[in-house]
Amino acid sequence: MGFFQRLFRKQELLEPADLSVLKVDMHSHLIPGIDDGSPDMETSIMLLRHFEAMGYRKVITTPHIMIDYYKNTSEIINEGLKALRAKARDEGVRLQIDAVAEYYLDEHFDELIEKGDVLTFGDKYVLFELPFMAEPEMLKSTLFKLQMGGYRPILAHPERYLFWHRDLEKLRELSDRDVKLQININSLTGTYSPQVQRTAEWMIDQGIVDFIGSDCHHLGHLQLMQEARKLPYLHKVIRSGKLRNASLD
């Protein structure tokens, strides 16, 4: 049995969903050389061509800002964006390209919020992520700070945080507090873990998924998305009418 067959053995497969209806991917790591995503410009251009071929009109790419590992700043990201746009234009890539950040929730992020140095997209949206193993104590206070500052937080891949797998109501509470929730398309394949897959499916059943994203770090993520397109749950979330990706166009 092949890798994909094992991943998908329990589900009927449908005709691949049309991702062009999403118009915008809002979670990826395509600025070369500044995080654990694309290592160089050539790879970034190749990945952009794949997004274009899948029917996307725009990518809002989101390098990590995580002070211990990826010491990125708004300036570094904007410089990287400028270079990526110039090269993409030269190479005939027609996709629109924007860049913000995927902020790791820690004291450094709090300082950036206090300084007003936060990259936003759409209607003052801010993408942030959490550590995978333990819920940070400062989660509530940071969310409060963000929302009081007029920002609209989007939590990256809530289905991947281990500490909520046995406490799914926490995800609904976040949604009720107007924290937008973004799942990774590939979570539906089971590639991260069966629990991650089940959590993403539960969120879709509950109608609390606001955005779906590629979280593309490399070509493998886009190849796996081709398989994810056949999954009933991807069809279901696209049909839900709740996704806001296209509002970012």
Q: Which residues bind Fe ion (CB under 5 A)?
A: 102, 215
Q: Is the dihedral of CA 170, 176, 179, 185 positive or negative?
A: positive
Least distance (Å) between residue 211 CB and Fe ion: 13
Per this entry, what is the length of the chain? 249
Please identify, using beta-carbon distances, which residue of 25 and 215 lies nearer to Fe ion: 215
The alpha helices in the chain, defined as continuous H runs, are 3-7, 41-53, 74-90, 107-115, 139-148, 169-176, 194-206, 219-228, 232-239
Asked if 60 contacts 121 with a C-beta cutoff of 8 angstroms, the reply is yes
Please identify, using beta-carbon distances, which residue of 182 and 197 lies nearer to Fe ion: 182
Backbone dihedral angles phi then psi of residue 240, each to the nearest 5 degrees: -60, -25
Asked if 59 contacts 98 with a C-beta cutoff of 8 angstroms, the reply is yes
Least distance (Å) between residue 110 CB and Fe ion: 20
Please identify, using beta-carbon distances, which residue of 171 and 216 lies nearer to Fe ion: 216
Residues 6+ away with beta carbon under 8 Å from 96: 57, 58, 59
Please identify, using beta-carbon distances, which residue of 215 and 227 lies nearer to Fe ion: 215
- Distance between CA atoms of residues 70 and 73, nearest Å: 9
Please identify, using beta-carbon distances, which residue of 154 and 238 lies nearer to Fe ion: 154
Please identify, using beta-carbon distances, which residue of 71 and 239 lies nearer to Fe ion: 71
Please identify, using beta-carbon distances, which residue of 210 and 230 lies nearer to Fe ion: 210
Least distance (Å) between residue 37 CB and Fe ion: 8
- Distance between CA atoms of residues 52 and 50, nearest Å: 5
Q: Which residues pair with 96 in a beta bridge?
A: 58
Least distance (Å) between residue 216 CB and Fe ion: 9
Least distance (Å) between residue 77 CB and Fe ion: 14
Least distance (Å) between residue 56 CB and Fe ion: 17
Alpha-carbon distances of 29 from 140, 165, 168, 209, rounded to whole Å: 27, 26, 28, 21
Least distance (Å) between residue 109 CB and Fe ion: 15
